[in-house]
Structure 1
Amino acid sequence: MNKHSDNERSEGAAPDAAPSGENPVADDKGVKISRRHALLGGGIATLAGLGLGTGAGYAFGKSAGKTAGQEASDVMKISYPFRGKHQSGITTPQQQQMMMAAYDLITDNRDLVIQLLKDWSLASEKMMNGNPVNDPKQSKLAPPDDTGEAYDLGPGALTITIGFGESFFTKDGKDRFGIAQRMPKPLKGGIPRMAAEKLDPDQCYGDIVVQACSEDPMISMHAIHNLSRLAFGTASVRWTQLGYGRTSSTSTGQKTPRNLFGFKDGTSNVKGEEAEAELNEHLWIQPEDSGGKYFAGGSYLCTRKIKQMMEVWDELVLQEQEDTIGRDKLHGAPQSGGHEFTPPDFKKKDQDGKLMIAEDSHVAVVHPDNNGGRRMLRRGYNYMEGTDSLGRLEGGLMFIAYVRNPQTNFIPILRKMSGDAMTEYLQHISTSMWVIPPGMGENEDYIGQKLFES
């Protein structure tokens, strides 16, 4: 589902297309209170997701992956370059599959952490080109250097994005690796607790995060599998999350997807083709920002795992659903009229003098016009984890947003979600925040190198 269906500008409705490397372009109140309590036994859900996207990618030179992406007619042949001004997997046209993993470092040895980042960067570059992490061994008496489950699948538009949590810099008051003073201020303290949250601490935060997106679940899993294997002895997996079916669009070449409530999601999100000035304002960390010396060209990643009460939502009449979201369910147009990409008119009233878009509708709560123009880039995914003991679906949204500053572009909007009519049908169960370093340059050896060597 999506909280920020409208936290962004309008996007085109062209069919999905293959990316092109440097600037890749490929690919809603009513009678609902008692129903939820009747079906779920109470428990108010929390705040909903947010959204906004931005940013066109930048790559050095012509990699084989870039060429493949330009010429591919099969999504499994699409590849993106690992090196560039910004990390891949942010403004890259959003893929259909995702696996995210958070890791805890089990060493205080700075050199081992640097070596891990070197190993991960090298392996990521190879896997994004559709290659194994190393050439196959001839000897059958040693473990293979690649786990092998993605052999013959191709690159599959894989992107790998790496970021650091607050505990990467300091933990229990200790400067772990001599870089505590370099932690950007917006990262400190993470995301504040919100009303009616029910967070699972084992699914929150961590020292390092890796986001692997692709067009095939096996390829995303293969990437996390191999990076976890390389981390043995230095870092351990804290939590993982699988996502399927994007709930956002990061390119004007992509159609607006639907969430598990059946509504189009992310119509107003920022897109990668927007002007550089817009992306710099809302997405990319700037040199003058806190930590800009080390993170300019990077971003902040904010996540919220949000369970959706689908069985309760399913019992609402269509009008209730649309009033909750603020949009037409079939076509995605705002209730004030027009088509999907018509800007919502929050002052328009019907013949009885009632606002056509309710003030507590999702659209009204999160739209940039009602939030000082603040926007974010969204890359969320649906998730499904079977059913509970009563047969209710255990699924929802893995909300993912990238912003220049979470203290201005994410947290204030999240706080407003407590007044969003849709929150009655949601339960936030995990949260995290990470700083994402810029991309890796041609003469660099690993992601985050400036942080350790500048």
Structure 2
Amino acid sequence: MAGAGAGSQDRTGTDGVGFSRRRLLGSAGAAGAAGLVLGAAGGSAGYAASRPDEPAALTAIGATEAMFHGKHQPGITTPLQARGHLVAFDLVPGAGRKEAAALMRRWSAVARELMAGRPSTAGGTDGPGHDTGIALDAGPSSLTVTFGFGRTFFDRTGLTGRRPAGLDPLPPFSSDQLDARRSNGDLWVQIGADDALVAFHALRAIQKEAMGAAGVRWQMNGFNRTPGATGRPMTARNLMGQIDGTGNPKPADEDFDTRIFVPSPSRASGASGAPDASQDWLAGGSYAVVRRIRMLLDDWEKLPVDRQEQVIGRRKSDGAPLSGGTETTPMDLDKAGPDGRLVIPDNAHARISSPEKNGGAAMLRRPFSYHDGISADGTPDAGLLFVCWQADPFRGFVPVQRKLDRGDALSPFLRHEASGLYAVPGGAAKGEYVGQRLLES
């Protein structure tokens, strides 16, 4: 949220998407200043009354705007959004560093405009980049667009000397049944918004701007609970009905930045002990691990609730640990019941994945649920589009997943079907595009 880009400037006229920017910001202010930064818990009352010839004031949900420019890219610490699209691209044959730079410049321009609630006209009003009108009448709706580079991107652009060690291939895990066609990719884009049409509008704009430079390798669509759907703000639930995300690192934590974001070269030394200037482009960035995790819901739902709670290690009703307290009460991993057995079983998911059992390893989980209908075997093709963020995937995701792979009680109900690892550059300063410090160095 540091830094405000051009997208945050007030405009006194109506801007072509059916609302006044001044009215939009005024409406958001009336709903509470916190809504602009954190999203509103309410905003379910719909549009305010207005004259037929006057645009209606947006609700707090529609008016909430995330900033494009800043130290970090948006979509990492942004609160969970109701709708999401994850899409990977491969550069077309013959495309290299020059074409990649031009694409990132176009993508950044589109993201900046759409996140501010303005139409996308990166290709001109009559060219391939003309706005589709899909999101007419809507505000920014917390839209974020986040860009990352896969391992193969550096081969395609002749930048292997600047490829970070954090993009080394992830090790295999026993629960992997990975589909190579839905894994990896040269470029990765995460789109999130609190309105489905706003999210789809951004997806179409990103796809259109890629034409001639990159083609879609895979795409996955997800969702979360809509802000304001619960009586109070609370941690989201996944499709198993479990509260998911309780143990996430918090931005207020003293060590949050060191766990989640890549430090500047002056703080990150290479093998010789000297600052590694080849990685300066990644300062303020992060690594995203993306996993498509199918949940075997038919099997899971056959378990009684008390057995589900033993598998997870937390109460289903409120997410509190089985050792007692509320959702945020620290787990007492040594507490035993009257029978002498551990209250939180030794193979419970919450125990095995906890930082205490993984040498302090932590990652910021920011997933979307997905449901793609019924598979050929008649079971739901549904689960989690798992996205986690960390400063180093081999100190965050990998040690935790290795531990889970060796005896997590939840593993029999999960199937990892796709995987990707991406280096996500720091945020773009005003006048910059995302990845410029890498592609124009």
Helix, strand or coil at the partner of 2:346: coil
Find the residue that maps to 1:408 and give its secondary structure.
coil
Alignment of 1:254-269 (within 5 A): 254-269=233-248
Match of 1:59 in 2: 3
Spell out, residue by residue over 1:278-323, the C-alpha distance to the aligned partner (whole angstroms, 9 max, x if none).
1222001012436541111000000111000111111112221111
Give the secondary-structure state (helix, strand or coil) at the position aligned to 1:395.
strand
Secondary structure at the aligned position of 1:406 is classed as coil
Cα deviation digits, residues 142-201 of structure 1 (max 9, x gap): 66711221121221110000000000002xxxxx32321111111122x21110311111
Which of 154, 157, 162 in structure 1 is aligned with 2:147?
162
Contact 2:144-2:192 at 8 Å conserved across structures: yes
**Aligned counterpart, 2:181:** 202
The alpha-carbon distance between structure 1 residues 201 and 324, as it changes in their structure 2 partners (threshold 3 A), is same
User: Where in structure 1 are there 5+ consecutive unaligned residues?
Assistant: 1-56, 171-175
SS of 2:410's equivalent in the other structure is helix
Compared CA separation, residues 295 and 246, structure 1 to 2 (3 A):
farther
Q: Higher RCO, 1 or 2 (CA under 8 Å, sep at least 6)? A: 1
Shift of 1:61: 6.2
> Secondary structure at the residue paired with 2:329?
coil
TM-fit CA distance, 1:271 = 2.2
Q: Is 2:71 the partner of 1:85?
A: yes
Q: Percent identity?
A: 36
- Equivalent residue number for residue 218 of structure 2: 239
Offset of 1:378 from its aligned partner? 1.1
Between the aligned partners of 1:323 and 1:224, the Cα distance in structure 2 is 40
Choose from 413, 418, 433 the match for 1:425.
Answer: 413
Q: Which amino acid aligns with 2:158?
A: G
Q: Secondary structure at the match of 2:394?
A: helix
Give the SS at the match of 1:343. coil
- Alpha-carbon separation, structure 2, partners of 1:433 and 1:146: 31
Alignment of 1:106-185 (within 5 A): 106=92, 107-134=94-121, 145-170=130-155, 176-185=156-165
Q: Alpha carbons of 1:96 and 1:138: their partners in 2 closer, same or farther (altered >3 Å)? A: closer
Matched, 1:100 2:86: yes
> 1:51-88, CA deviations, whole angstroms, 9 ceiling, x for partnerless residues?
xxxxxx31246852799465555211111121111100
Distance of aligned partners of 1:187 and 1:247 in 2 relative to their CA distance in 1, 3 Å threshold: farther
TM-score by length of 1: 0.80
CA distance in 2 between partners of 1:154 and 1:442 (Å)? 22
**2:262 aligns to what?**
285
Residue equivalent to 2:39: none
Unaligned runs of 5+ in 2: 11-23, 36-58, 269-275
Report the count of equivalent residues.
383
User: How large is the RMSD of aligned CA atoms in angstroms?
Assistant: 2.3
User: Are residues 1:448 and 2:435 paired?
Assistant: yes
1:167 and 1:210 map into 2 onto residues whose CA distance is 15
Report the CA distance between 1:108 and its aligned residue: 3.1
| CA–CA distance in structure 1, aligned partners of residues 223 and 376 of structure 2 | 23
d(CA) in 2 for partners of 1:234, 1:220: 22
Change (3 A) 1:109 1:341: closer
Corresponding residue SS for 1:450:
helix
